[in-house]
Amino acid sequence: MKTVKIILCGCGGVGKEFLQLLADRGEELVAKYDLQLIVMGAADLKGAALTNSDEGLPVAELVTYLKDGNEVQNFPTFGKEGLTGAEIIAQGNADVIVEATPTDLKDGGVAKTHVFGAIEQSMDIVSANKGPFVLFYEELFKRAKAKGVGLHISAATAAALPTLDVGLICLAGTRVLSAEGILNGTTNYILTQMYVNGTAYDVALKEAQKLGIAETDPSYDVEGKDSANKTLLIANRVFGQTLSLSDVSVQGITEVTPEDIEEARKSDKIIKLISEVKVEGDSFKLSVSPKALDKTHPLASVNGSEKAISYDTDTMGGITVMGGKSSPVGAAAAMLKDLINAFVSK
């Protein structure tokens, strides 16, 4: 049996659901994959819980403690006030970090320190955080390659919807000609509510916040920035580019009015926030914008907080995957999937 030692950075909604999955499925993962996933350390921005024991932290107790509203630094026996994720990573006593702190797109925030620190320690990285990958993609991938470190970012690229796995694994050997997707659950939820129930924009946004799918600052969703980040990461990974955010033209849904939605309905169309990667000769055109789709379009029937991606290829034709509702559990499950796939055959 293979044992994988994990450091969890971030004990918010996604981090807690990740711990919950490990607590609930630990035995199942051993039976099915011969993999034992143990958490050596878990940190948030105030402190951490840490162990050196080969059994790892007691995750079932830890997640209950956190879900009861307690802080990780106060976790009995293991809690350490003020201990940072970066300090735990620097100890080097793990195989992989799971980065689930909130995305910071100004300078990458603590996640930048975590991921660069993990690469120095030759630890793999599984991340739901988009910040460092959006801002420092080229440098991160160069350093990771030099150290033989795996970067696994399914959870940062539409999470439960397998955008990268499909593009990189299922379409291997094809030439991917273009990608088109609905990559943000919050905006798709809002547009669906406006279309189906005539719900006001503000009310629908509040509902999405209650579902826990909107970003901490929901302008990232409604202004199209979250979709732009995912579009960029998919373009860089699947199309092998080193583009940056300034290469993405972005328009969100803040100016979509009930009248626009009714106008589209009259022509048997539906408005969706569409991410696109188009190859034009040697250059790549990346965009996010609201589009009125014909009802027959493969993305027209993607509703609520569900998402989808369509790839067009030279040898396999068009492939569309849909589903993968945005949710903290879905993001945690995407991290677990990346962990299993990264270590099961290592």
Where does this chain bind ligand HSE (CB under 6 A)? 184-186, 213-215, 221, 226, 326
Cβ(118)–Cβ(37) under 8 Å? no
Q: Say which amino acid occupies 335.
A: M
The residue whose two tokens read 């088109």 is: 180
CB of 71 to ligand HSE, least distance (A): 24
CB closer to ligand HSE out of 71 and 165: 165
Return the SS3 of 240. coil
CB of 122 to ligand HSE, least distance (A): 28
Q: Give dist(CA 340, CA 346) in Å, integer.
A: 10
Of 261, 269, 263, 274, nearest to 294 by C-alpha is 269
80, 230, 307, 337: the catalytic one is 230
Q: Give dist(CA 221, CA 214) in Å, integer.
A: 7
CB of 216 to ligand HSE, least distance (A): 9
Cβ(88)–Cβ(98) under 8 Å? no
Longest dimension (CA), the chain: 64
CB closer to ligand HSE out of 215 and 260: 215
CB of 333 to ligand HSE, least distance (A): 13
Cβ(144)–Cβ(119) under 8 Å? yes
Task: Check if 67 is active-site.
Answer: no
CB closer to ligand HSE out of 189 and 239: 189
Q: What angle do CA 215, 216, 222 make, to 5 degrees?
A: 45
CB closer to ligand HSE out of 241 and 326: 326
Tokens, residue 233:
């990461």
CB of 237 to ligand HSE, least distance (A): 16
CB closer to ligand HSE out of 154 and 313: 154
Cβ(66)–Cβ(328) under 8 Å? no
As annotated, the active-site residues are 230
